[in-house]
């Protein structure tokens, strides 16, 4: 957290990727649209220590948590399921979203259950809740993604080209993909109920508590639910 020209600034790490309704690729490297950026702006405006402006720190997926740990960003607000592995690296706030997980395959693929995936090459983001789910599929070959700035698009194109047979990600971005792109279909969704939180550096208790207080306020007054309904009207607000 810093100040510039008397304005309070919070630096939030995220990838720059087209993954609506969560977020879209930034047109200018600074402004962003989608549920996560709008929820972040809402919370930043309600911080007890004073409203803050957001400076987005755009990074490859695998670099976000290291950036927070070394102080190059104040927090990571970018699809962070609160796994034990991540909780050992950052301190999480209360959740601002809860999602299930979906497998997407090509439209002509008949697989509709994990038991039909033996021999498939299945992609997911490295060290993610999605990869943990993929690890439970019997007989599959796992393919890790995450080294680029646009990992979601990478997984889409890898599936489209046949480099992988399908990939796992959260239902919020996968169900629209299966419905809107004729090349893909939703194979199945697993009700994992993954909680997403904002990760701050270990020991940054003051910032974590501020974010938690602001989150509690926007959940209680319904304003976060309104942002949710704007971007994800077909999904029930889970908090």
Instruction: Kindly report, residue by residue over 112-163, the tens digit of the pLDDT.
Output: 999 999 999 999 999 889 999 999 999 999 999 987 778 899 999 999 999 9
- The answer to whether the bond into 21 is cis (omega within 30° of 0) is yes
CA 97, 98, 103, 108 dihedral sign is negative
Q: What domains does the chain contain, in order, with CATH numbers?
A: 2-96+197-231 (3.40.190.10), 99-193 (3.40.190.10)
pLDDT in tens, 165-215: 999 999 999 988 999 999 999 999 999 999 999 999 999 999 999 999 999
> 167 CB contacts (<8 Å, ≥6 apart)?
103, 104, 122, 123, 124, 130, 145, 155, 156, 158, 159
| Integer Cα distance of 20 and 174 in angstroms | 10
CA 111, 112, 118, 123 dihedral sign is positive
| Integer Cα distance of 212 and 95 in angstroms | 9
pTM of the predicted structure, to 2 decimals = 0.83
């Amino acid at each position: 957290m810093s100040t510039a020209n008397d304005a309070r600034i919070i630096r939030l790490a995220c990838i720059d990727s087209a993954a609506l309704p969560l977020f879209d690729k930034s047109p200018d490297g600074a402004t962003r649209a989608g549920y996560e950026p709008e929820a972040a702006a809402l919370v930043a405006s309600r911080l007890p220590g004073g409203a803050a402006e957001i400076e987005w720190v755009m990074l490859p997926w695998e670099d976000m948590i290291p950036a927070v740990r070394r102080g190059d960003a104040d927090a990571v607000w970018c699809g962070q399921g609160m796994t034990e592995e991540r909780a050992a690296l950052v301190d999480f706030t209360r959740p601002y979203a809860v999602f299930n997980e979906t497998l997407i395959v090509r439209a002509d693929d008949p697989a509709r259950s994990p038991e039909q995936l033996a021999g498939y090459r299945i992609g997911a983001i490295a060290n993610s809740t999605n990869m943990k789910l993929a690890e439970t599929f019997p007989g599959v070959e796992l393919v890790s993604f995450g080294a680029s700035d646009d990992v979601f698009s990478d997984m889409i194109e890898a599936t489209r080209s046949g480099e992988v047979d399908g990939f796992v990600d959260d239902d919020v971005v996968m169900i629209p993909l299966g419905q809107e792109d004729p090349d893909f279909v939703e194979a199945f969704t697993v009700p994992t109920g993954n909680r997403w939180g904002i990760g701050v550096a270990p020991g940054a208790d003051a910032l974590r508590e501020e974010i938690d207080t602001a989150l509690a306020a926007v959940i209680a007054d319904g304003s976060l639910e309104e942002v949710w309904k704007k971007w994800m009207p077909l999904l029930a607000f889970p908090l």
